[in-house]
C-alpha cells in the first residue's frame, strides 16, 4: 500500500504542488514543517 501512495506523490502530487506555489512559499513551508517536526520529536523525547 505504501509504494503506490509514494509513487503517486513523486509523480503527480509534488510536481503539481511546486507549480502552484512560489519558491519562497515552498521554502518557507519546508522550514515550518522542519521546525514542527523538531518540536514534536523533543516533546516525545521529554515525555515520561
Q: What pTM was computed for the model?
A: 0.64
Contact criterion met (CB below 8 Å) for 18 and 26: yes
Average pLDDT on 35-42 reads 94
Mean of all residue pLDDT scores within the chain: 86
More confident residue, 28 or 48: 28
14: nearest Cα among 26, 32, 3, 25:
26
Q: Where are the domains of the chain?
A: 2-45
Percent pLDDT > 90 in the chain is 56
Give the cell for residue 38.
523538531
Give 9-29 pLDDT, tens digit per residue: 677 788 888 899 999 999 999
User: Is the per-residue pLDDT at 1 higher than 60?
Assistant: no
Amino acid at each position: 500500500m505504501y509504494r503506490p501512495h509514494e509513487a503517486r506523490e513523486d509523480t503527480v502530487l509534488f510536481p503539481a504542488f511546486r507549480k502552484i506555489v512560489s519558491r519562497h512559499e515552498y521554502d518557507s513551508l519546508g522550514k515550518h514543517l522542519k521546525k514542527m517536526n523538531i518540536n514534536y520529536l523533543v516533546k516525545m523525547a521529554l515525555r515520561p
